[in-house]
Structure 1
Amino acid sequence: MSGRPFIVAIDGPAGAGKSTVSKILARRLGFALVDTGAIYRCVALMARREGLAFNDDAGLEALLARVRIHFQVQGEDNHVFLGGQDVSGEIRTPDVSMGASQVSSRPVVRAGLLQLQRRLALEAQSGAILEGRDIGTVVFPDADAKFFLEANPDVRARRRFEELFEKGVESSLEDVLSDQTRRDAADTARTVAPLKAADDAVRVDSSALPLSEVVQTLEEEIRRRMGSRAPAR
């Protein structure tokens, strides 16, 4: 067994609870947290700021050579920094969410960010949790533990609406559900790294489960696998 950190992959659609669950697990386990969705959101935000079309492959490739992203846990939040600026709130707006879905479908973007995502995880001292849509299938197909969180579309939309409301973002539940439906379709239908559960992922439907039970289910499985993992040599 190599000496690499313990890698946990958590995939699933928007609103399934990936971000909240991943944040709590990272804190409880003492693991680094890599929000891969936030990385694509940063690319979309940077492209929008520079007036680049989300399908401008040449422009996006040049942009990727300049993008600088890092994460920093502050209190109970995992903050996202783009070029030294905290963009944690700005990248969560509906416009940037749709932009992230579009840029993530571009092969040049996925290829350009693949090594960044892997590096951020492998630099962790003990372990890393990566959350996104293709972690267990593309980024770390050999992850030590893989999970796929899912939930009823109406439940997911309600969660997203409440999140936006708490942040002061004006929207309606109908608009959130409509945006979510479009993004789900785009994420699952794209030819490059589509959203899907890895064959060996543990699937958890969080529609009717309290957050504590979802976290406990994943944590128990992770600790079980950590206990059975052969020691590094």
Structure 2
Amino acid sequence: MNARDTNARLVIAIDGPSGSGKSSVSKEVARRFGLAYLDTGAMYRAVTWWCLESGVDLDDAAAVVAATRSVPLEMGTDPDEERILVAGQDVRAAIRGDRVTDHVSAVSTTVPAREVLVRMQREIIRESGNRIVAEGRDITTVVAPDADVRILLTASEAARMARRGRQLGAAASSNLEAQVVGRDAKDSTVVNFTSAQDGVHLLDSSELTMEQTVQGVIDLVIRDTDTAHDGAAEAPDDTGAAAPEEARQP
């Protein structure tokens, strides 16, 4: 397989904890290779928003599962144009607020609800023609264990906290540590995204810039798709594809 062949299957699965840089890195890698992009974490957030708006009792697992099955969710896969609609409403901003962040683990730790979303995620991957970068917490092990490249992107707790604080800026809440570390602790009870499984590359971005991390992923993609021998092992053309200034640090 040639990683630069625009007709070849290329599924890149990237897992990692909050603040590891997986979203910004995944988007940029998708741009560089001309792939679709899927943020599975946003799907859990969108379902959580739907539950809260619909008055669903998040302590009622059966109700959460029913809401997950019925949610009118539309996910865009263009890395340059985020599109997340619930019942036709743009929820991109709403799902990133404290209200959803404080409750999303109620959905993500409900195993039958995860199973519903996993099926949706696999369908999105198929609809992309199996040319996609999918990121989340269980992509390498559950959603796409047969992905062509599987990476666990991690970083130290201090680095992750600092990045999330910079990302939120003035909107950073006083319970940032609970949102970052606490949610990881809750979600890790149902899915392992803290250690690389067999066949999964571990990439620690604690001391790396955004560009260095992107390049690290690209190098792994090229290695795993076995292109080094034919001269196609250089990074894909990134002309005009530089990351926005605010995202230089993952």
State the TM-score bracket (shorter-chain normalisation). Answer: 0.7 to 0.9
How many residue pairs were aligned? 221
Give structure 2 stretches of 5+ with no counterpart: 2-6, 228-250
Segment drifting more, 75-84 vs 144-153? 75-84
Which residue is 2:85 aligned to?
Answer: 81
Q: 1: distance between equivalents of 2:84 and 2:142?
A: 23
Q: 1: distance between equivalents of 2:202 and 2:57?
A: 36
Which residue is 1:90 aligned to?
Answer: 94
Which residue is 1:200 aligned to?
Answer: 199
Which residue is 1:211 aligned to?
Answer: 210
Q: 1: distance between equivalents of 2:8 and 2:117?
A: 20
Q: CA RMSD in A?
A: 2.2
Query: Cα distance 1:73–1:195, how it changes in 2: closer, same or farther (>3 A)?
Result: closer
Letter in 1 for 2:203: V
Q: 1: distance between equivalents of 2:68 and 2:179?
A: 26
Letter in 2 for 1:187: D
Which residue is 1:108 aligned to?
Answer: 112
Q: 2: distance between equivalents of 1:71 and 1:5?
A: 21
Asked if 2 retains the 8 angstrom alpha-carbon contact of 1:55 and 1:106, the reply is no
1:96-119 deviation line (CA, Å, top 9, x unaligned): 123222211111101111110001
Letter in 2 for 1:69: L
SS at match of 2:76: strand
Which residue is 2:141 aligned to?
Answer: 137
Which residue is 1:124 aligned to?
Answer: 128
Query: 1:7 offset after TM fit, Å?
Result: 1.2
Segment drifting more, 5-14 vs 194-203? 194-203
TM-score in terms of structure 1 length: 0.86
Query: 1:161 offset after TM fit, Å?
Result: 1.4
Query: Cα distance 1:85–1:74, how it changes in 2: closer, same or farther (>3 A)?
Result: farther
Query: 1:169 offset after TM fit, Å?
Result: 2.3
Q: 2: distance between equivalents of 1:56 and 1:92?
A: 23
Which residue is 2:160 aligned to?
Answer: 156
Letter in 1 for 2:215: Q
- Does residue 178 (structure 1) correspond to residue 178 (structure 2)? The answer is yes
Segment drifting more, 99-108 vs 30-39? 99-108
Asked if 2 retains the 8 angstrom alpha-carbon contact of 1:26 and 1:33, the reply is yes
Give structure 1 stretches of 5+ with no counterpart: 229-233
Query: Cα distance 1:170–1:225, how it changes in 2: closer, same or farther (>3 A)?
Result: closer
Percent identical among aligned pairs is 36
Query: Cα distance 1:61–1:171, how it changes in 2: closer, same or farther (>3 A)?
Result: closer
Q: 2: distance between equivalents of 1:201 and 1:74?
A: 25
Q: 1: distance between equivalents of 2:156 and 2:53?
A: 34
